[in-house]
């Protein structure tokens, strides 16, 4: 049986590690933890009952900053995309690396936050051209739309105290929406909450919105989880490493530029739309106000370089990577002396040459990852769009070729509204760190999957694993080397392909396929031996459950499955994870490993920079690396413009 062993590259043995250091302003929603994030939204809104909590989450994510502070999310097309899976549907990535997107991003994100906030269920509907969310409470589903910015109650009169309607309700009666307008197309006083679909009202397009619901033949429900969890913001700050995050782009024109692959070539994913004054060169900024993305850097200067021919360094990132650069001082004494630098984003399975230099040479040298594509507005390197990579330095002669002052730098994109901003007045900041656990996300490309009874299907650059008639399985061996494992994560999307429809990575909607799968079961299981016994941690349900008692037959059966398992026997060194199917196809496999790391230590330096009434100010806070919590205060007396926050392990 084909088996792929994935090793966790631990930082064990390195001194002075600090685990997931985090700074939040008091009361700030924590975007690294969905449950805490939802609870902060409730607390800041004073929401107590389910209706108030649902509305608080809806309002927090409104796409137009005129209607809500801090204006966390904004609407823009074409910038929230990562190959090979396509449109980003991971809630943690959307919150922290982006903070913008379209309806098919915000709807799954709302679903995730509703469920993390304690609601028993939330679900997404695809209305062909628009994706919306419903949340279940008080015995029924209720539709809230943060993208188009509205929700509806039944009937006229004051909206206060009336229940919020469902997608089913509007499917049956489009007048639930249209009766809120008078004859001239203006909103009747007092019948709706503000905002209420402001762009559609202004464009006299509320009839079109209602028809999205009432033309029911192409309305399809995702009855299972639509968002794709798996990413976390956990990271280890090593000695000699800095995480620098700016509140704006570090320089003009710096952003993560997504590229799409159609099976033959790479092209820019964002599209310019002259009608709406959308220019790719402007980056992913809000078209309605001055909200922007932001960038940052992860800088790592290893304390020592192994005196070996080949040295490999890990460069993980909790944020999406824009590009990278590696600088060093070299001494190549002879003509025969040489040094090469390579990168890998698939755990060392394949390598891309970044650069090579031959002697004799003495002095500084800088190289960046291989450029895979160039286009009108930027370029894609071998590490762009990833969340970590390896750097391999190979010397022709370890004794003769000297490498010093090595500095590995990743440039990252982030959502500045997730950062701890200083405000005018008194500010309290709460520092915390994580448990001494190493977590590494393991790349699992479908083309390299260790399959038995599956074949790889590729359709215009989109891939999935299709089981044979008798079924198949994918078996991974997860290994932490000499370190005992404490747990693992596994996730995947299982595709029951019906009606000639498959997921479209380009639109997060549907595309046509000639492949039809069977309804057979699928499962995820694990074992301590490749021969088992295997313990199931997920099995495909026979049919969806209908909490409101209203079955739906227009379904997209593509559940995003994710399981975190942290109950391994003490001393476990290797785990076998199996994904099996006798029917559904599989794509979007996600794997992570956890192992106990050395105790936290070192000296954390927090530096916050801002301008106050035009004058640059700086606050430096020193924290012991072993501290789990720390509180400090900053007073700002004038108008504040935040510039950056830096965490460094010195």
Chain segment 10-53, per-residue pLDDT in tens: 444 456 899 999 999 999 999 999 999 999 999 999 999 999 99
What are the domain boundaries of the chain?
33-222, 249-291+294-414, 438-596
Please name the CATH architecture into which domain 249-291+294-414 falls. Answer: Sandwich (2.60)
Chain segment 251-276, per-residue pLDDT in tens: 999 999 999 999 999 999 999 887 76
> Measured in whole angstroms, how far is the alpha carbon of residue 466 from the centre of its chain?
26
| Domains 249-291+294-414 and 438-596 fall in the same CATH topology | yes
pLDDT at 492 over 80: yes
| Per-residue confidence (pLDDT) for residue 276, from 0 to 100 | 67
Confidence grade of residue 167 (pLDDT, cut at 50, 70, 90): very high
Q: Tell me if residue 53 falls in helix, strand or coil.
A: helix
For residue 346, cis peptide bond before it (omega within 30 degrees of 0): no
Mean pLDDT of 161-165: 94
Which of these, 321, 329, 440, lies nearest to 369 by C-alpha position?
Answer: 321
pLDDT at 4 over 70: no
31: enclosing H helix or E strand: none
CATH class in words for 438-596: mainly beta
CATH class in words for 33-222: alpha beta
Chain segment 593-605, per-residue pLDDT in tens: 999 889 999 999 9
Antiparallel, parallel or unpaired: β 4-7 and 472-479: parallel
Rg (the chain; Cα; Å): 26
Chain segment 512-531, per-residue pLDDT in tens: 999 999 988 999 999 999 99
Cα dihedral sign, 112-114-120-121: negative
User: How many beta carbons lie within 10 A of that of residue 586, not counting itself?
Assistant: 26
pLDDT at 445 over 90: yes
Mean pLDDT across the chain: 94
pLDDT at 566 over 60: yes
The tokens for 289 are 């106000």
Q: Are 502 and 513 in contact (CB under 8 A)?
A: yes
| Per-residue confidence (pLDDT) for residue 13, from 0 to 100 | 42
| Per-residue confidence (pLDDT) for residue 205, from 0 to 100 | 96
Chain segment 70-129, per-residue pLDDT in tens: 899 999 999 999 999 999 999 999 999 999 999 999 999 999 999 999 999 999 999 988
For residues 532 and 5, which has the higher predicted lDDT (pLDDT)? Answer: 532
Q: Is 292 exposed, middle or buried (0-12, 13-18, 19+ CB in 10 A)?
A: buried
Place of tokens 């002697």: 359
Chain segment 448-469, per-residue pLDDT in tens: 999 999 999 999 999 999 999 9
């Amino acid at each position: 049986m084909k088996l792929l062993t994935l090793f966790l590259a631990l930082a064990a043995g390195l001194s002075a590690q600090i685990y997931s250091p985090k700074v939040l302003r008091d009361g700030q929603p924590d975007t690294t933890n969905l449950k805490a994030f939802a609870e902060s939204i409730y607390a800041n809104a004073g929401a107590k009952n389910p209706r108030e909590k649902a509305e608080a989450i809806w309002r927090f994510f409104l796409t137009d900053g005129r209607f809500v502070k801090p204006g966390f999310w904004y609407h823009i097309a074409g910038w929230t995309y990562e190959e090979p899976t396509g449109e980003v549907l991971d809630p943690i990535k959307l919150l922290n690396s982006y903070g913008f997107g379209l309806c098919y991003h915000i709807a799954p994100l709302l679903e995730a936050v509703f469920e993390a906030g304690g609601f028993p269920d939330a679900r997404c509907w695809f209305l062909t051209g628009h994706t919306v969310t419903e949340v279940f409470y008080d015995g029924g589903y209720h539709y809230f739309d943060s993208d188009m910015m509205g929700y509806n109650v039944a009937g006229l009169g004051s909206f206060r105290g009336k229940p919020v309607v469902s997608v089913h309700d509007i499917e049956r009666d489009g007048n639930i929406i249209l009766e809120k307008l008078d004859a001239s197309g203006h909103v009747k006083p007092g019948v709706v909450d503000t905002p209420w679909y402001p762009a559609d009202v202004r464009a006299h397009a509320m009839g079109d919105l209602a028809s999205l619901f009432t033309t029911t033949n192409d309305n399809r429900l995702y009855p299972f989880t639509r968002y794709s969890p798996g990413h976390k913001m956990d990271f280890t700050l090593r000695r000699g490493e800095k995480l620098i995050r700016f509140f704006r782009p570090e320089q003009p024109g710096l952003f993560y530029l997504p590229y799409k692959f159609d099976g033959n070539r790479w092209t820019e994913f964002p599209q310019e739309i002259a009608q709406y004054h959308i220019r790719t060169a402007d980056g992913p900024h809000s078209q309605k106000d001055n909200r922007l993305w932001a960038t940052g850097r992860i800088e790592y200067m290893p304390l020592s370089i192994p005196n070996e021919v080949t040295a490999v360094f890990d460069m993980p990132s909790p944020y999406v990577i824009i590009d990278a650069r590696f600088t060093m001082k070299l001494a190549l004494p002879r003509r025969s002396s040489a040094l090469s630098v390579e990168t890998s984003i698939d755990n060392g399975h394949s390598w891309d040459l970044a650069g090579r230099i031959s002697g004799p040479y003495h002095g500084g040298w800088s190289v960046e990852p291989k450029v895979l594509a160039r286009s009108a507005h930027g370029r894609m390197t071998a590490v762009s769009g990833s969340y970590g990579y390896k750097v391999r330095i190979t010397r022709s002669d370890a004794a003769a070729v000297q490498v010093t002052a090595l500095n590995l730098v990743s440039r990252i994109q982030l959502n500045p509204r997730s950062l701890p901003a200083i405000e005018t007045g008194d500010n309290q900041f709460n520092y915390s760190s994580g448990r001494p656990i190493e977590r590494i996300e393991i790349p699992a490309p479908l083309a390299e999957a260790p399959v038995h009874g599956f074949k790889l299907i590729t359709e215009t650059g989109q891939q999935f694993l299709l089981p044979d008639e008798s079924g198949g399985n994918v078996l991974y061996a997860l290994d932490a080397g000499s370190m005992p494992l404490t747990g693992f994560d596994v996730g995947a999307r299982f595709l029951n392909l019906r009606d000639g429809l498959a997921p479209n990575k380009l639109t997060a909607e549907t595309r046509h396929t000639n492949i039809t799968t069977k309804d057979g079961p699928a499962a995820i299981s694990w074992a301590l031996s490749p021969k088992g016994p295997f313990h199931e941690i997920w099995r495909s349900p026979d049919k969806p459950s209908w909490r409101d008692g209203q079955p739906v037959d227009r379904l997209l059966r593509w559940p995003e499955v994710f399981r975190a398992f942290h109950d391994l026997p003490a001393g476990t060194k290797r785990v076998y994870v199996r994904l099996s199917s006798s029917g559904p196809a599989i794509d979007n496999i996600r794997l992570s490993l956890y192992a106990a790391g050395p105790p936290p230590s070192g000296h954390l330096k927090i530096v916050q920079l801002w301008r106050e009434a035009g004058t640059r100010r700086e606050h430096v806070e020193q924290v012991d690396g072993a501290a789990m919590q720390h509180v400090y205060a900053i007073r700002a007396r004038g108008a504040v413009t935040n510039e950056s926050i830096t965490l460094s392990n010195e």
